[in-house]
């Protein structure tokens, strides 16, 4: 069963909002707000850049139909992470937690990652079937999320 990525993202966002609801009168440090804006901006740029690369490659961005991929995109944001759109969604959740000044509000990010991992695995299987060795080489050099090297 495919769950569109915006669904777990929205549920995590709502969970974050409920977590911080009781502390909404607590002042949030300016640095936390600024970090939230920065992380949010980078996340949106990552997602937008990815969509642009997929459009240039004339391939699908539909996670429900990875079998429709016509081109293996390994440039742009995809040279840094195999899942830049999912990473962008996670980044937006981190940005939201920073904006709200709540470390606890970052907890739903883990729930989001857990919720989308089966979809990512499905996409990886489809891409491996479609692109074979080229995809295997890509997997060998580009991390699923981020590299700490």
Q: Residues 15-66: pLDDT tens digits?
A: 999 999 877 777 889 999 999 999 999 999 999 999 999 999 999 888 888 8
SS3 108: helix
Q: Is 66 exposed, middle or buried (0-12, 13-18, 19+ CB in 10 A)?
A: buried
Q: Give the total residue count for the chain.
A: 149
CA dihedral in degrees (136, 139, 141, 144; nearest 10)?
180
Predicted TM-score of the model (pTM): 0.92
């Amino acid at each position: 069963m495919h769950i569109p990525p915006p669904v777990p993202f929205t549920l995590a966002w709502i969970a974050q909002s409920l977590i911080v609801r009781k502390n909404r009168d607590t002042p949030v440090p300016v640095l936390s707000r600024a970090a939230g804006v920065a992380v949010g901006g980078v996340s949106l740029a990552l997602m937008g850049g990815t969509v642009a690369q997929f459009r240039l490659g004339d391939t699908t961005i539909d996670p429900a139909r990875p079998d429709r991929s016509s081109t293996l995109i390994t440039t742009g944001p995809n040279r840094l992470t195999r899942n830049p759109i999912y990473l962008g969604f996670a980044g937006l959740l981190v940005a939201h937690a920073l904006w709200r000044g709540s470390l606890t509000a970052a907890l739903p990010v883990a729930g989001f990652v857990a919720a989308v991992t089966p979809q990512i695995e499905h996409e990886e299987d489809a891409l491996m079937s479609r692109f074979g060795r080229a995809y295997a080489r890509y997997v060998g050099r580009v991390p699923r999320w981020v590299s700490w090297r």
